Amino acid sequence: MMSSLPLLLPQLPPFLPLLIGSLAAIFLRGHLRSAIMLITPIWGAIQLSGMEHGLYWAFEFMGYQLEPVRVDKLSMVFGYLFHLAAFIAVVYALHLKDTVQHVAGLSYAASAVGAVFAGDLLTLFVFWELLALTSVFLVWARRTDRAYSAGLRYIMIKVLSGVLLLAGAIIFINETGSARFSDIGLEHDGILNLGAWLIFLAFGIKCAFPFLHTWLTDAYPEATPTGTIFLASFTTKVAVYALARGYAGTELLVWIGVTMACFPIFYAVIENDLRRVLAYSMINQVGFMVVGVGIGTSLALNGAVAHAFNDVIFKGLLMMTMGAVLHMTGKINGSELGGLYKSMPKTTLLCIIGAASISAFPLFSGFVSKSMIMSAAIAEGYDYIWLALLFAAAGVFHHAGIKIPYFAFFAHDSGIRTTEPPKNMLIAMGIAAVLCVIIGTFPAQTVYALLPWEVEYQPYDITHVLTQLQLLFFSALAFVWLNSKNMYPPELPSTNLDADWLYRKLAPSFVVPIYYSVIQGIGKLESAAKGGINQLINSSYDKDKEKPKGYFAKLWPTETMVFWVALLLVGILLLYYI
């Protein structure tokens, strides 16, 4: 019956069901709106299951073949993932009556689906920009001054990414004669190489490459509790997909990815805002994916895709638990929380499951995907990369696996007593937690079955399991020892800046004075010009006799006109030849 169901539905572009749901949310209210919002991700996933691999709705535009929908194994796995993420996020947001968040969330999900099915660079650009325009409202929906400021910085950087993508796409299309989005790479000559690098940089911004990552750690923690769940699910994963499609096997990505996996650890350990800790953790996890794409073998690419799939679920679970804490207490800083396990035991348990998953405990989802990437690194001779990833894995256990649940629910007793969050939030967290366990326990029947490349891999061999258990044991031991000696970085009520210091502190320190100096200079020039004009007028008009005076007053009007025309012609000739 289920296999015949897609045949009974009208065949639509994959993004359209979610978009229809977002449009319905504008006009509908109450239970009907909730029902439509829940149905549209399910409808989209069912329709997706009935689509054969190939191109759909292709047409010619300005002499180029555009392919708005391309269905293959790589786009399908991300398509299923985004519909699943949209469903969980909608369940989590059902208690809200905020139309802005409902419309923006589903529109954002629709844009992500459209991007991963785009078969050409121009269609990709359209959805690339829609991702930015729809997601920023999830930040502004918090309706605080910090959210508005963070949203403005966010949209500026995202628009820059889109401009770079468009510029690179135009160059690439003009030089190759094709708009098709496939393997791009960085090995080109002349102007084509510039186009490839521009596209690479555009993808890198949305992937949160080092020094290009601050939009994520700046804006995501300022979004609404429900909006952050949508934000954590789509943008960076679309960028990982784009890199896998266009730059698989580019070795530069290995070094970029390992840097991404390592540097956020140091910021996450000292960060007080627990949602910002998870934002840094997101960069850390995306770093593993970027390494996999850079290695470029079937095992590594499958690992990157599988880890993207799992990260959306377990990072979403952790974001949901912190969103529940923020929703129920109004606080999210580790220095202000603690002891919540007494009044939020279910949320505490769900957070621990998410922490175990992101830390790659055996039998949890993170283990079955992260180990693929690390195995691929060893197999391809990247020994130092493997050691760095091992360090990054230990670090993520510290800041996401231990710090998040410890400082939010245990540590010191903050004295806060509340209740569990609304039932819909618990249900959404429960769905994600169950998926973390099922995927981790039965990977071959779940996420491995969706992977695009054919490869045999068994995560549960004695070497993988023992290595990971030893890593986790000694990491936990280090945390306990540092904490007992009061050497673990305390939760201080402060805001940490990293690369965003350049434009939030350094740039204003010299840009603002330059701006005011220019304004003052323009003002002085304007005053001088007005004074000169007034002096010229006064020298050529006699106020007492109320008639013109001076040399030009003695001439006929035609003579005066000839003089000024001649003067203008001289000026034009000088400008032309200079």
Residue type, 533: I
Spatial CB neighbours of 343, under 8 Å, sequence gap ≥ 6: 416, 417, 418, 419, 420
Cβ atoms of 133 and 153 closer than 8 Å: no
Going 511 to 516 to 517 to 518, the CA torsion angle's sign is: positive
Burial bucket for residue 199 (CB in 10 Å: 0-12, 13-18, 19+)? buried
Nearest-angstrom CA–CA distance, 214 and 157? 9
What pTM was computed for the model?
A: 0.85
One domain, residues 82 and 65 = yes
pLDDT tens, N- to C-terminus, the chain (578 residues): 445 555 566 688 999 999 999 999 999 888 999 999 999 999 999 999 989 999 998 888 887 889 999 999 999 999 999 999 999 999 999 999 999 999 999 999 999 999 999 999 999 999 999 999 999 999 999 999 999 999 999 999 999 999 999 999 999 999 998 999 999 999 888 899 999 999 999 999 999 999 999 999 999 999 999 999 999 999 999 999 999 999 999 999 999 999 999 999 988 888 889 999 999 999 999 999 999 999 999 999 999 999 999 999 999 999 999 999 999 999 999 888 989 999 999 999 999 999 999 999 999 999 999 999 999 999 999 999 999 999 999 889 888 888 899 989 988 888 889 999 999 999 999 999 999 999 999 999 999 999 999 888 999 988 889 988 888 888 888 878 877 777 666 665 666 667 666 666 666 676 667 767 777 777 777 787 777 767 765 665 555 555 555 555 555 566 666 766 777 788 777 766 66
pLDDT at 482: 77
Domain boundary residue, one of 495, 529, 553: 495
One domain, residues 191 and 139 = yes
Domain assignment of residue 565, given as a range: 542-578
Cβ atoms within 10 Å of 572's Cβ, excluding its own: 10
One domain, residues 524 and 548 = no
One domain, residues 139 and 271 = no
Helices (H), 177-273: 190-207, 214-219, 227-233, 235-246, 252-270
Nearest-angstrom CA–CA distance, 301 and 463? 22
Cβ atoms of 320 and 425 closer than 8 Å: yes
Cβ atoms of 295 and 243 closer than 8 Å: no
One domain, residues 211 and 351 = no
Backbone angles phi, psi at 445, to 5 degrees: -90, -10
Mind giving me the DSSP string for 324-381? HHHHHHS--BGGG---GGGT-HHHHHHHHHHHHHHTT-TTSHHHHHHHHHHHHHHHTT
Burial 528-546 (b: 16+ CB within 10 A, else e): eeeeeeeeeeeeeeeeeee
One domain, residues 489 and 389 = yes
One domain, residues 276 and 402 = yes
pLDDT at 485: 75
pLDDT at 5: 57
pLDDT at 1: 44
Cβ atoms within 10 Å of 519's Cβ, excluding its own: 10
Domain boundary residue, one of 179, 212, 246: 246
One domain, residues 233 and 337 = no
Domain boundary residue, one of 215, 246, 277: 246
Cα Rg of the chain, angstroms: 29
Say how many domains are in the chain.
4
One domain, residues 305 and 231 = no
Distances, alpha carbon 548 to alpha carbons 535, 537, 544, 560, in Å: 14, 9, 10, 13
One domain, residues 237 and 369 = no
One domain, residues 548 and 405 = no
One domain, residues 364 and 508 = no
Distances, alpha carbon 141 to alpha carbons 94, 98, 101, 102, in Å: 16, 9, 7, 10
